[in-house]
Amino acid sequence: MVIDTICNAPMSEMLKTSLRFCRQFQSAPDSLFDWAYMGLREDETEVEKTKESRDVIQLRYKDRTYDPVQRTGDVAIDIYVLGVRWWKDQHLGTKHTLTRPANAQYPLTSRMVATYSGSILEEADCIIRMTPLSENQTKVHYEFNFAFGRVLAAFISDKTWENAIEWRFHVILENLIEYAETGKVEPRPLQGPKKK
């Protein structure tokens, strides 16, 4: 999934927001529900979960290790499908890099690559590329790339992807932009995929 947008904040604020997101994702992912994941918390009261539910797949974060010097993290997670734990103590390792072109200052690219240790996820990365447009505007190129392992890929239809996963990436970007622009993310109810 790729989104290009404009953030009405200096690049320094967008960069701080990107670094905060990556650091917290690697070291304290539950804290992201206070801002970057605002509006994504699953509804625990929903009785019947189906393959069309927005929370068909849930991650429960457990143990964490983080190396701030190497910018590497490891989070143990339990993975629930349709409310039932399918996998326990899976490890999602991540490596964060910040790069720019060899002969230019911009764009500045923040990239977090998953180094997952199991067979559920083959590969994944999050890219936030930032280029200043003016003193108070930043062009943001945002990518989330996922390749599920065979077991989970067989379960994820296009409709499941749209309902359970893709819309979350849109909301996360909206929250990152709002945070860079205002320094906070206003509370909102659980959001769902945009109706077409």
Model confidence pLDDT, tens digit, residues 40-68: 865 555 555 555 556 667 778 888 899 99
Please state, in angstroms and rounded to a whole number, the distance separating the CA atoms of residues 188 and 191: 8
pTM of the model: 0.85
Average pLDDT over residues 152-170: 72
Give the whole-number percent of the chain exceeding pLDDT 70: 78
Q: Which candidate, 165, 191, 161, 166, places its Cα nearest to that of 178?
A: 191
Q: Please return the burial class of 168, using the count of CB atoms within 10 Å of its CB with bins 0-12, 13-18 and 19+.
A: middle
CATH of domain 2-41+51-182: 3.30.530.20
Alpha helices in the chain (DSSP H): 11-27, 150-155, 158-160, 167-182
Model confidence pLDDT, tens digit, residues 109-136: 999 998 776 666 778 899 999 999 999 9
What is the dihedral angle through the alpha carbons of 21, 23, 25, 28, rounded to the nearest 10 degrees? -120
* Contact residues for 88 (Cβ-Cβ < 8 A; gap 6+): 78
Give the whole-number percent of the chain exceeding pLDDT 90: 50
Average pLDDT over residues 92-111: 94
Other residues' Cβ atoms within 10 Å of the Cβ of residue 130: 23
In the chain, where are the structural domains located? 2-41+51-182
